[in-house]
Amino acid sequence: MSAPGSLTASDNAASSDAARFDAVVVGAGPAGSAAALVLARRGHRVCLLERGPYPGSKNMYGGVVYPRILDELLPGWWEEAPVQRWVTRRATMMLTADQALTVDFRSEAWGQPPYNGATALRPDFDAWLAAKAVDAGALLVTSTTATGLLRDGPGGTVGGVTTDRPGGDLRARVVVACDGVNSFLAKEAGLYGKPDPANYTLGAKEVLALPAATIEDRFALGPGQGADFEIIGCTGDIAGGGFLYTNRDSLAVGVVLHLPALAAAGVRPEQLIAGLKAHPAVAPLVAGGELVEYSAHLIPEGGYDMMPTLTGPGMLVAGDAAAMCLAAGIWLEGVNFAIGSGMAAGESAAEALERGDVSEGGLSGYERRLRDGFVLQDHRRLRHAPHLLLSDRVQRRYPQLACDIVEDLFTVTNPEPKPGIGRLVRRRVASSGVRLRHLAADSWRALRTFG
């Protein structure tokens, strides 16, 4: 291979048929860069393979990252990470066609070290994290796609990857697949079962340019402070939700849509974003924003129940490739789970390499680390959340019911006296079509899921 960022014999002591490494990490997103960083720090020869022209060039997400997992990997990360704004305000909105009920929380503590969450642009954030892996000794190879697995004998241990470059096979004792949702490498390795479209959503996002001062004024923020709005009831007959995040001088507004329902509805995601932006509760916040970017991305939203087998002989799977995006209502997190799983994969691969055992058993420390940490503990505890939150009652009936109850509560009825709150709630529940037994059952499911 030639061209900038390519492998050369002098760089990698290549054999006549393939460049050789201790580990090849496929995908320079947060999971891949974290894995490569850990491996390189342990003194292993690592190739970090990225199909885009630079890390983050093909990655899309809502816009919020919770990077406290970096405390142990990169102490003091907040002093240099390319953050847009520190999230000091979080709100959950329930919408009907002409109503909005918002639970709004802010904390000044979140705007101070070590911080809680931040908005960030993936091209900036991913490039920064990948550069840390390179500084530690990993070789970053861009504009190169892993097209398949190399094996030591038919059906044997994974021993590297093939690429789309002539003569570009990469031999390695361990492959860490961080190649994103719908991971072709994990599927080729037989680690995934038959995919279920019900486990996926489509995220679509617009970025709207606005002056920083305008954003701060509209969202009641100080300089450098950010807001994170999660929205339910904004996707019509399609199960899903919406979001609105503040960057330094732009807003990210978008929707997340249940894939089968989207296909059946025949509606374009941008139509739903337009409807969200036109809602009376959202329109004043986005008014005058200039569209500078549109993107869409498949999201593995089934969580724990759709995860593949995480290890195979000579191979580990991490990040979105392992369906580790957490979609649990008030908790919508992905980058932190990607980094956490990437760190665990890097540590486990290094341990296996140093023992000289990269069999499935030799790599079993990976699942142990994930089980002992937040990645699998959170996913296991919240495994039923996606299906509960995508149900028709939670998506449409409960937002309407909640908004109607609050509207009745604050509507002054003079000359009639104020109704008792219990009576008011019972009347609205009765007229909503929501059966008390369903409300009780869903409340119990929510308590068991989130409690």
Secondary structure of residue 178 in the 3-state scheme: coil
Q: Quote the Cα angle for 253-259-262, to 5°.
A: 75
Distance between start and end Cα atoms, the chain: 54
Residue 330 has pLDDT above 80, yes or no: no
| Residues facing 255 on adjacent strands | 204, 242
Average pLDDT value for the chain: 91
Residues 168, 160 contacting (CB under 8 angstroms) = no
Residue 392 has pLDDT above 70, yes or no: yes
Q: How far apart are CA 156 and CA 149, in angstroms?
A: 11
pTM: predicted TM-score of the whole model, two decimal places? 0.92
Tens of pLDDT, residues 121-166: 999 999 999 999 999 999 999 999 999 999 987 668 999 999 999 9
Tens of pLDDT, residues 158-206: 999 999 999 899 999 999 999 999 899 999 999 998 889 989 999 999 9
Q: What is the pLDDT of residue 15?
A: 38
Q: What is the pLDDT of residue 450?
A: 79
Q: How far apart are CA 370 and CA 263, in angstroms?
A: 34
Q: How far apart are CA 71 and CA 114, in angstroms?
A: 8
Residue 32 has pLDDT above 50, yes or no: yes
Band of pLDDT at residue 10, cut at 50, 70 and 90: very low
Residue 5 has pLDDT above 70, yes or no: no
- Dihedral Cα 114, 116, 118, 124, nearest 10 deg: 50
Q: What is the pLDDT of residue 18?
A: 64
CATH numbers and ranges of domains, the chain: 9-77+121-193+308-382 (3.50.50.60), 85-119+197-300 (3.30.9.90), 391-450 (no CATH)
